[in-house]
Structure formats: structure tokens, C-alpha cells
Amino acid sequence: MIEIRGLAKRLGRRQVLQGLDLDVRAGETLVVLGPSGTGKSVLLKHIIGLMKPDAGSIRIDGEEIVGLSEEQLNPVRRRFGMLFQGAALLDSLTVGENVALAMQEHARGLDEAEVRRRVIERLEWVGLQAAAALKPASLSGGMRKRVGLARALAMDPEYVLYDEPTTGLDPITADVINQLIRGMQKQLHVTSVVVTHDIKSAYTVADRIVLLYQGRVMFDGTPEETRRTDDAMMRQFIEGSSQGPIQPV
């Protein structure tokens, strides 16, 4: 599991994380909701060690990762798959090569045949086996996200982090991604953190939902508890209202 305590991060003039406490339990899909600019991506970057906090602790299965060197972080990062906002594919490579790249980067001595096998298998998982030779630029937004997901799963991660996996997609395509996230959790037993401001997506994929605002977790509950809550912030977020304790930026 992931245990985050007192995480603080200042970026420019903003105190983005303000003593954030959060647990991600083994095997669950945790959804982190929050308005744009509230620090959701910053939180994910801390979990995989791409950003260093000013204060606080992050333990991955008991191991403190705050303060580790880049070299010490490598074996930790290998346990994570990340689907970046916008999928972050390389347009000069084919879809298959993009997925293969994630394996080569980790240089775990996979031979070529094994890399090929995994590329095909991962693309099958996301329903894109026919797209292996295409360039990402020719794909729709939803397909690009699916390639990003295939790449995130390249190295059999124990943890998968999703940054806005459905943002910018039409509702039907968004549901394809939601079902894939659900399916991966069931089949691969990964522990997932899904960052989003899409409340419908949250209800579909989450075992537990938290609301991030002003650098801290302001609400924590199951999807059912979330639906029924009278917490003013969570209600405002669910209803998408400009009136309430959450200030529009």
C-alpha cells in the first residue's frame, strides 16, 4: 500500500500541497477528485518520485521514498505504470514502438521476442492489436489514451496511476476507458490511483473516492457514501455548482 503523511509542496507562490495525508490500500482503485489546478498531477508526480516534497513522507509497502536518489528510485518506479495526461506518446514512433519503448527504458533484459509478445498482448488488452503499425498522430483521443494504458501496463506494474484518463473524451469513449480501468484491476489485481474531475468516471471505477482541495484531502468515502454525502464541498463538486465552499479560480 501507499501511505502519504504530511506531504507539503510549494510551487512558485502557491502552497500546492499543505500537509496532505492519504492511504492507498492494496488492490483498491482510489479516485482523487478535485478542481483543475488543485494539485492532483503534482500529487501523482510525488508518488513516483518525479517531484520532491518540501516536507512529509511517502511509504510504498513500508519503504520511505522521500529522500531516495534517482538510482534508488529506479526499482521503485519499475513497480508503477503511469498513464499521463494527454497520453504523452512519441509521434515519431509507431504505436507498437511506443509500447515497446516502456520495456526498453527499464532495461530488464527482456529479449526481442518477449518484447514483441508483450507489445501484442498489451495492445490486445486495450483492443488495439490492429493499430500496432500506425503512428499515434492518426489515432483519436480515446485510442491514444488506450495506447498510453497499454504502455503503462508494459512492465506488469503493481501500481497504476492514471492522470485524467477520460478528460476530453466523449461520454461513450470515456466509458470504454472506464471499463478498461475496471477490467485491468479485476484481471491484473493492480492497485490504482485515478486522478480526475469527471464525477461519472469516479463512480464507475472507484472503490473509494477522495476530494483534494487546498492541498489536503477534504472528503473520503465509498462511491455510495459519496452519492449520499451532505459534505458541502463534495456536494458542490458533484453538482458542479459555482456556489459553495470551493472557490472557482
- Summarize as ranges the residues that interact with Mg ion (CB under 5 A): 40-41
Binding piece for ligand ADP, criterion CB under 6 A, among 30-38, 54-62, 124-132, 173-181: 30-38
| Cβ contacts of 85 within 8 Å, gap of 6 or more | 41, 163, 164, 167
Choose among ligand ADP, Mg ion, none what residue 11 binds, the Cβ cut-off being 5 to 8 Å by kind. ligand ADP
Residue type, 63: E
Binding piece for ligand ADP, criterion CB under 6 A, among 29-37, 200-208, 213-221, 224-232: 29-37
96 binds ligand ADP (CB under 6 A): no
Give whichever of 11 and 55 is closer to ligand ADP, judged by the CB atom.
11
54 binds ligand ADP (CB under 6 A): no
Q: Show the cell assigned to 163.
A: 492522470
232 binds ligand ADP (CB under 6 A): no
36 binds ligand ADP (CB under 6 A): yes
Instruction: Rule CB under 6 A: choose which of 29, 30, 39, 169 binds ligand ADP.
Output: 39
CA atoms within 13 A on the CB side of 212: 28
Count of residues engaged in binding ligand ADP, rule: CB under 6 A: 12
202 binds ligand ADP (CB under 6 A): no
11 binds ligand ADP (CB under 6 A): yes
- Spatial distance between the Cα atoms of 57 and 238, rounded to a whole number of angstroms: 30
Instruction: Rule CB under 6 A: choose which of 12, 62, 240, 248 binds ligand ADP.
Output: 12
- Spatial distance between the Cα atoms of 229 and 233, rounded to a whole number of angstroms: 10
CA 16 to chain centre: 18
34 binds ligand ADP (CB under 6 A): yes
Q: Where are the beta strands (DSSP E) in the chain?
A: 2-11, 14-24, 29-33, 55-60, 63-64, 80-83, 159-163, 191-196, 208-213, 216-221
Instruction: Rule CB under 6 A: choose which of 2, 7, 22, 41 binds ligand ADP.
Output: 41
38 binds ligand ADP (CB under 6 A): yes
- Output the CA torsion 226→232→234→237 (10° steps): 130
42 binds ligand ADP (CB under 6 A): yes
How many CB atoms within 10 Å of residue 18?
15
List of residues contacting ligand ADP (CB under 6 A): 11-12, 14, 16, 34, 36-42
